[in-house]
């Protein structure tokens, strides 16, 4: 998935996507590879008595295929692109999806079967001057100050490579402050090396921070440590690993979000 920060489009050469903004991402990592690991009824089990609609934030949504699949799965909707948007869907869950790449967002908007329930926007999540007014404006529409659940699917590596250790720490702290629950799919370290090799093969400049990263090795363990020790979250459950060897980890905030008492 593309890291939602400013940068160039992935273009026609998959290796030339230094921010993860691959134009055909879902072809080589199909949504079902993650969805199949998540139990049906997950949303109800996490929020049995919470007022609706619930609010979700998907960071690094690419062209939206996984966002739509997650939405269908969480609401138990029929898995068909031709099925109409259920009239009550937006009263159950509203999902804000953001990504680096305006072209990928345009594709997501054009193909979304849930235009009333899923919003797609191009956003640099690491730029507080644009992020804060945008997110605040969205949340205020619902009288909220945070999201119920966040999704960060194969995004941490791109933030890390382009913003360094400090950027990764700030990014995870931001998500922890914004979301009561957070589902994270960290890329393993071998993916970092592969991403760096792709750029070198194309004669592109190497990632600025790659060789100086002190946070390395077992990235699922590192992300878990950062979120639990530094960001006031607890690991609720690991849903196992995808066929491409990435863990799906669910965290919950241990701090008080204003909406916890709704």
Q: What is the CATH number of the domain that holds 86?
A: 3.40.50.150
Number of Cα atoms under 13 Å in the Cβ half of residue 36: 8
| Assigned token pair, 3 | 């890291």
pLDDT of residue 70: 96
Is pLDDT of 6 > 50? no
Q: If pLDDT is split at 50, 70 and 90, which confidence band does 4 have? A: low
**Does 56 fall in a domain?**
yes
**Does 18 fall in a domain?**
no
pLDDT of residue 56: 98
Domain with 236, as residue range(s), is 25-261
Average pLDDT rounded to a whole number, residues 202-210: 88
Average pLDDT rounded to a whole number, residues 238-256: 92
C-alpha span between 39 and 247 (Å, rounded):
15
Is pLDDT of 213 > 90? yes
**Does 5 fall in a domain?**
no
pLDDT of residue 261: 46
pLDDT of residue 149: 98
**What mean pLDDT value characterizes the chain?**
89
pLDDT of residue 28: 65
pLDDT of residue 54: 97
C-alpha span between 251 and 23 (Å, rounded):
29
**Does 19 fall in a domain?**
no
Q: What is the pTM of this model?
A: 0.90
**Does 187 fall in a domain?**
yes
| Assigned token pair, 233 | 């979250």
Reported as a single tens digit per residue, the pLDDT across 142-199 is 999 999 999 999 999 999 999 999 999 999 999 999 999 999 999 999 999 999 998 8
Phi and psi based region of residue 126 (left: phi greater than 0; alpha: psi -120 to 50; beta: remaining): alpha
Q: If pLDDT is split at 50, 70 and 90, which confidence band does 259 have? A: low
Q: How many domains does the chain have?
A: 1
Reported as a single tens digit per residue, the pLDDT across 17-32 is 777 767 766 666 789 9
Evaluate whether 179 touches 147 at the Cβ level (below 8 Å).
Answer: yes
pLDDT of residue 202: 86
Reported as a single tens digit per residue, the pLDDT across 104-147 is 999 999 999 999 999 999 999 999 999 999 999 999 999 999 99
Q: If pLDDT is split at 50, 70 and 90, which confidence band does 8 have? A: very low
How far, in whole angstroms, is CA 103 from its chain's centroid? 18
């Amino acid at each position: 998935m593309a890291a939602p920060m400013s940068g160039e489009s992935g273009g026609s050469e998959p290796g030339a996507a230094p921010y993860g903004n691959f134009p055909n991402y879902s072809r080589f990592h199909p949504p079902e590879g993650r969805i199949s690991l998540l139990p049906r009824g997950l949303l109800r089990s996490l929020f049995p008595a919470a007022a609706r609609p619930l609010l979700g934030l998907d960071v690094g949504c690419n062209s939206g295929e996984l966002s739509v699949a997650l939405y269908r799965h969480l609401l138990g909707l029929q898995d068909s692109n031709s099925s109409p948007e259920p009239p009550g869907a937006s009263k159950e869950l509203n999902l804000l999806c953001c990504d680096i790449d305006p072209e990928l967002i345009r594709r997501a908007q054009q193909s979304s079967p849930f235009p009333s329930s899923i919003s797609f926007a191009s956003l640099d999540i690491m730029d507080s001057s644009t992020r804060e007014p945008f997110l605040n404006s969205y949340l205020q529409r619902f009288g909220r100050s945070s999201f119920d659940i966040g999704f960060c699917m194969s995004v941490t590596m791109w933030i890390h490579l382009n913003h360094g250790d400090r950027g990764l720490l700030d990014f995870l702290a931001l998500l922890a402050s914004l979301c009561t629950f957070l589902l994270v799919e960290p890329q393993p370290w071998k993916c970092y090396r592969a991403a760096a090799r792709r750029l070198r093969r194309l004669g592109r400049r190497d990632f600025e921070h790659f060789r100086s990263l002190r946070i390395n090795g077992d990235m699922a363990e590192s992300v878990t440590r950062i979120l639990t020790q530094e960001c006031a979250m607890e690991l609720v459950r690991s849903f196992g690993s995808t066929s491409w060897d990435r863990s799906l980890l669910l965290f919950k905030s241990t701090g008080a979000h204003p909406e916890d008492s709704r």
